[in-house]
Amino acid sequence: MDLSINLAPNNTTGLIVKNPIMIASGTFGYDGYGSGIPDGMDLSQLGAIIPKTVTRHSREGNPEPRWYPTSYREAKEQNECIYLNSIGLANPGIEAALSDLAPMWATWSATVILSLSANSPSEFAEMSAMTKGVVGFEALELNLSCPNIESGALFAHSADLTYEVVKAVKANSDLPILVKLAPNVPDIVPIARAAESAGADALTISNTNPAMLVDTSSKAPVLGAITGGLSGPGLHPIALALVYQSFQAVTIPIIGVGGIFSAEEALRFLLCGASSVQIGSANLADLWAPIGILEDLTARLEGQEVSNLEEVIGITHNRIPA
């Protein structure tokens, strides 16, 4: 069975991953960049890895607490539905990432995708230009759900801003470009189409959804920044709907993200139109989760006598509810 897929068929270099299981940005290793990977973990088994997002300059991030619950492993064991994080894009900055982290990624037997966030289209352009000639990653993922200082909005909330950012990056990089969109928009279709029109090679859908929770004992918010991003099971049906809608609107590949803890949940995204998926919260609960999900998904598809991934992508669009 062939599980490989080209996530950038319109790019001259392409982006062929050997299977649809990818690790979402910020969830790999103890620092999000790959430290603390278990001994014996064969990274070549994975479709791709997206290390934690980097910005033009280093950021300290949001005040503590940054996670709810504090242990995603315990939350998974207790079947929690609410997973919140408020990291605030804490990172060493792109210069440090390119000089210190990229050489480490280059030693991995895995496809690595660099995640970028910026304050303006021009800054996105500058950062993408800085990646030229650097080894250690094969594509760029644009995190468009960060605050846009110039307009006070989110890039991914505006079709025009999305188009402007993607155009700016495409003018400064030949690497395949993935565009990560936000879930909290009235209609994702015009934004997805804008990204495609500007030259995006694939869409990542979706980022976390703004949310908060209050501790009724202390009467205080559970996160230091008050609000954070909802991931895990609570995001799953939201992200599925966004992938389903976007699949009907664009022709470029879609990467589904949101609450994937099992092969069942990964398969749902593929059926709705995703060409691959990213594992996030489940990876924070168990670093071996992506490997387990891949093994279970492979067994399930083999049991259905699927010969290649294309046979299952988007099938739900041709099915009538029972």
pLDDT reported for residue 321: 87
Q: What span, in angstroms and rounded, lies between the C-alpha atoms of 27 and 49? A: 10
The domain spans of the chain are: 5-60+89-210+231-318
pLDDT reported for residue 146: 62
Catalytic residue among 8, 146, 198, 301: 146
Q: What span, in angstroms and rounded, lies between the C-alpha atoms of 278 and 256? A: 6
- Residues (pLDDT < 70) of the chain are 146-153
5-60+89-210+231-318: CATH homologous superfamily? Aldolase class I (3.20.20.70)
pLDDT reported for residue 150: 44
pLDDT reported for residue 286: 93
Residue 146 annotated as catalytic: yes
Closest CA to 89 of 46, 32, 127: 32
